[in-house]
Each structure stands twice: as structure tokens, then as C-alpha cells.
Structure 1
Amino acid sequence: MSRAPKPIPLTTTQARQIWLHAQRLDERAPFGDGAQAVSDAVAHLGYVQIDTINVIERCHHHILFSRIPSYRRADLRHAQSVDKSVFEYWTHALSYVPAGDFRFFLPAMCEHRREGHKWFASVKPADMRKVMRLVRAGPLTIRDIEDDVLTEKEHLWQSRKPSKRALQLAFYMGAVTVSERQGMLKTYELMTRHFGWDKLPRPASAKDITVYLLDRALRS
């Protein structure tokens, strides 16, 4: 076996410089401007977490603005809804992810299709059929569904509308995606129709996913 390479000692200053450069925080406008800059920033970072916390501005807008000085909310909306170069899915939290990385998230979607999702175990098949029928007719938000019988919340973040949980389960299964977002109001659309696909891409292998996660972490 070959001998492991000798570790290279780093000063605190060097480590800080490496981290700032990897996060692209050592340049004023490393990604340019406009919707393409948003796509490039998300692609470099691997994902940008979507957060409901809103003091000055929501977390994801802070992350992009700190790297794109001319950033406007419309740039992110354009990247998601027009260019479709980013999409929403779960990383360590709900995030914007490069559309080019979609296949690495497909195995998780397939697993949720087979086994369900522990957060949405209470979703009834009838509610799932209802929301899928509605979304096949066209994109919709939870506000478009007015005939739900409201239920008691099981925790503070949960919606009282059964259709909301059904839409979230369909989202984790990859049946629908968020095609547009106004604040925290999401518009759901069929995944294949949103991207113009006849069928979903081929899922990445477990080995490819491991390499992808390592490369993403090292890059950013």
C-alpha cells in the first residue's frame, strides 16, 4: 500500500482564506448578475437553504445577495420558474438545488414512493388522489383548494388542510415540484410538465451519489 500523503499544516489565516474563497466571499461579484448569476451561485454552493425566518430578509435571499451585489428577488424567481435551472428539494433542509443535479435526488424520491414518508404517514389515499387530480388540471397553490375539511394540527408547523400534507408528500415523491414561489406561498406543478420531460431522468447510483456529495462539500 502506498503511504498516505503527509498532512500540510495551515495557519488560521490560510484556513480562513481557503474557506472564504470556496464560499466565494472573497470577491465582490464572483458570479456576475441576473438570473444566470443565481444559477451559477447555487451550482457552486451545491444548494441554498430556504428558510421561513424573516427578520431583515429571508435566509436564501441573504445568501445570494452576499455573493451577487445586484441581486433581486426576481432573479431567483426567473431561475426557478423560467430558466428552470434550479429546483426545490430536501438536502439537510428544504433548499434550492441545481437542476443539473436532479438525478442525485431521484433515489430518495423513489424511496418515498415505495415506502412513504414518516412525516406524512397520516396522508390518506383519497387526499393524494384529490390533489393529483387537481394538479393534473393545472398548477395550483394550497389557497386554490377551498373544500378541505380542516383538521387539528399535530405540531405548530403543520397545515390544517389535509390537501397541504398530500401535496407535500407528492413533492417528496417527485410527482410534483414547486414551479413558483411568492414569499412562502408555493405553486405546485407536475414534475414532468414543469421540466418538459416525457419521463424522469435515470437515478444516480449509490456510488455516484457518494462522489457527488463529497465533491460538493469540497468545492464549497
Structure 2
Amino acid sequence: MALPRLENAVARRLFMDRHALLEQPSGASKGGDLLQLISRLGFVQLDSINTVARAHDMILYSRRPSYRAKHLTDLYHGGGALFEHWTHDAAMIPLAFYPQWHLRFQRDEALLRKRWRNWRRDGFEQQFDTVLTHIRDHGPVSSSDLGKGEKKSSGGWWDWHPSKTALEYLWRTGALTVVGRSGFQKRYDLTERVIDEALHAPAVPLDPAPTVDWLCSQALDRLGFATSGELAAFWDTASATEARQWCQQAKARDEIEEIEVEAADGSLRKCFARPGTVDQAAELAPAPGRM
């Protein structure tokens, strides 16, 4: 039986729709309205490079022209509605998604210890207790508050002293939470003081299956159609194997179906989508003139 086919022009419209780019760019851009937009996108990637503007500000402005950089800062610093962590890169993520990051914390714990030991950051593990005690006694810190007199590593982007590396490791593995930035420098505090206890990791060993299910399902809803590899890459926590197995199981449950998507050059590739996606996409209107 032939697979449902998503023609290229329709696929483009669907992709834009899922990324909030098919509608007229307008609407409120503060507080709960901004949080709703970020939740719809899944996250907004942070970028330190500032040419025209920082990438995260351009992403939000393109969808809400009344947006200003202060609106994201207010939501992040004062609202307790977002947390900062990693997807494929550093990102602002709705706090409601925080429990889904426990798997990321767990996996980063082993991965980063091994990786960073090989990147000439010797001594960072010995700083864990010192860093945590300092923050517990003195409150939030940035990397410039610690590590005075410590030797830095090899330079460039990774010119970190051991205490800076310890801060980043403890943040990436969930013990610390970024509570704001001064300029673009992160400030860290104890997670137990920042994140509501109800969102903390469970005491029992973590079963990855529910998180993988959430990650793949939510990624597909935000992409519209995707390969298993693209589902894995969206949040960059589930492995390619886990995403592939999820697709097989979800297809067996009739939660997704296989479709053909036409590329710009006319070639076809197989993807997964929710049942009925092809018919629903055909009903989407073209993008407004401004977009």
C-alpha cells in the first residue's frame, strides 16, 4: 500500500505552523503569553553572539514584534517560569518540563566526568564539596567569584579553572540551577533552594522509558513530521536507538504512521507523523505576506 504523501509546499507550511511562523506575527509578548509561546516551541536556544541581536531575542521577536529582551529576562529571573539547561545547546525551557530533565542529569553525570577529565581540567572533581559549601554559606555565585589563583586550562572557549568546571558539572547534573545572568555570565544556586521540591528527582532509580516517551512524543508534535533521528536530536537526550525503538512501538500502537515527505528537489524520504497529519496539513493556509 502506498504511504500517505506530504507534498513539499504543504510540508513547508506544516513545519512553519508547528514553529509559530505561519500566522500573522502579532500578540502579547510578556509573562504568561511569552511562556505559552516558548512552551509551544519547546524551548528557545540561548546564544552569546550578538550581531544584530542575540539569537533567542530574534527567535521570539520574529513571532511577537512587541517582544523586547527584557521580557525574557523578567520571565526567567523573576517569574520562576523557565529554567536554563541543555537541549542540543544551552536553552531556556519551561519549568513544567523540569522533571523530564532528570534523565539528562543522570546521563550527563557519567558522560561529563569522563569527557572533561580528558579535556585537561584536572582537579575539578575535588572542588565539588568546596563549591557546594561556598554556595550554601554565601548564596548564588558566578565563576568569577570562585577559583581565584587556580590554574586555567588550555585556553579559548574552554579556558576554565577547576572551580568553573565544577560549577558547570554540578549545574549540568542537577545539583545547581542557573538563577540568572550578569551580562552573559551565569549565576548558580543550589537546586534545593530554587526548584520546587515537587519537581525534584525521585529517590528511586530512574526508569528512562517514560521520559523517552515524553521526549519523542513532544518532539514529534512540535516538528509535525520527523525521522527517528530527528526526534532524538530535538531535545538531544534520548539516544538514536531509543528514538528508533519508540517509533516502532508507537507505530504498533497506532499512535504514529509512516509517511512520505517530498523534498525541495522532488526526492522522497520516509518520516513519521501523527495519523491524519497529511490531511490536516492540506487545510493550512499560506503564510501571511509579512512572513
Report the TM-score when normalising by structure 1.
0.85
Q: Which has the higher contact order (CA 8 A, sep 6+)?
A: 2
Identity of aligned residues (%): 26
1:119 Cα deviation (Å)?
3.9
Residues 153 and 79 of structure 1, relative CA distance in 2, 3 Å threshold = same
SS of the residue aligned with 2:177? strand
Q: Structure 2 unaligned runs (5+)? A: 223-291
Residues 68 and 8 of structure 1, relative CA distance in 2, 3 Å threshold = same
State whether residues 176 and 188 of structure 1, in contact with CA within 8 Å, keep that contact through their aligned partners in structure 2: yes
1:115 Cα deviation (Å)?
6.5
CA–CA distance in structure 2, aligned partners of residues 7 and 197 of structure 1: 47
Equivalent residue for 2:82, pick from 73, 80, 86:
86
Q: Structure 1 unaligned runs (5+)? A: none
State whether residues 25 and 63 of structure 2, in contact with CA within 8 Å, keep that contact through their aligned partners in structure 1: yes
State whether residues 37 and 68 of structure 1, in contact with CA within 8 Å, keep that contact through their aligned partners in structure 2: no
Q: 1:23 corresponds to which residue?
A: 19
SS of the residue aligned with 1:105? helix
Aligned residue runs from structure 1 range 166-185, under 5 A: 166-185=166-185
Aligned residue runs from structure 1 range 137-216, under 5 A: 137=137, 138-145=139-146, 148-197=148-197, 200-202=200-202, 205-216=207-218
* 2:124 is equivalent to residue 124 of structure 1: yes
State whether residues 103 and 211 of structure 2, in contact with CA within 8 Å, keep that contact through their aligned partners in structure 1: no
Q: 1:135 corresponds to which residue?
A: 135
Residues 102 and 51 of structure 1, relative CA distance in 2, 3 Å threshold = same
Residues 10 and 59 of structure 1, relative CA distance in 2, 3 Å threshold = same
Q: 2:104 corresponds to which residue?
A: 108
Amino acid aligned to 1:144 = D
Report the TM-score when normalising by structure 2.
0.66
1:124 Cα deviation (Å)?
3.3
* 2:42 is equivalent to residue 42 of structure 1: no
State whether residues 38 and 44 of structure 2, in contact with CA within 8 Å, keep that contact through their aligned partners in structure 1: yes
Q: 1:59 corresponds to which residue?
A: 55
State whether residues 142 and 185 of structure 2, in contact with CA within 8 Å, keep that contact through their aligned partners in structure 1: yes
* 2:95 is equivalent to residue 99 of structure 1: yes
CA–CA distance in structure 2, aligned partners of residues 84 and 171 of structure 1: 17
1:51 Cα deviation (Å)?
1.8
Task: Please say which of residues 25-34 and 176-185 is displaced more in the overlay.
Answer: 25-34
Amino acid aligned to 2:141 = L
CA RMSD across the alignment:
2.4
State whether residues 26 and 66 of structure 2, in contact with CA within 8 Å, keep that contact through their aligned partners in structure 1: no
Amino acid aligned to 1:167 = L
CA–CA distance in structure 1, aligned partners of residues 28 and 114 of structure 2: 41
State whether residues 170 and 176 of structure 1, in contact with CA within 8 Å, keep that contact through their aligned partners in structure 2: yes
Q: 1:76 corresponds to which residue?
A: 72
SS of the residue aligned with 1:157? helix
State whether residues 124 and 165 of structure 2, in contact with CA within 8 Å, keep that contact through their aligned partners in structure 1: no
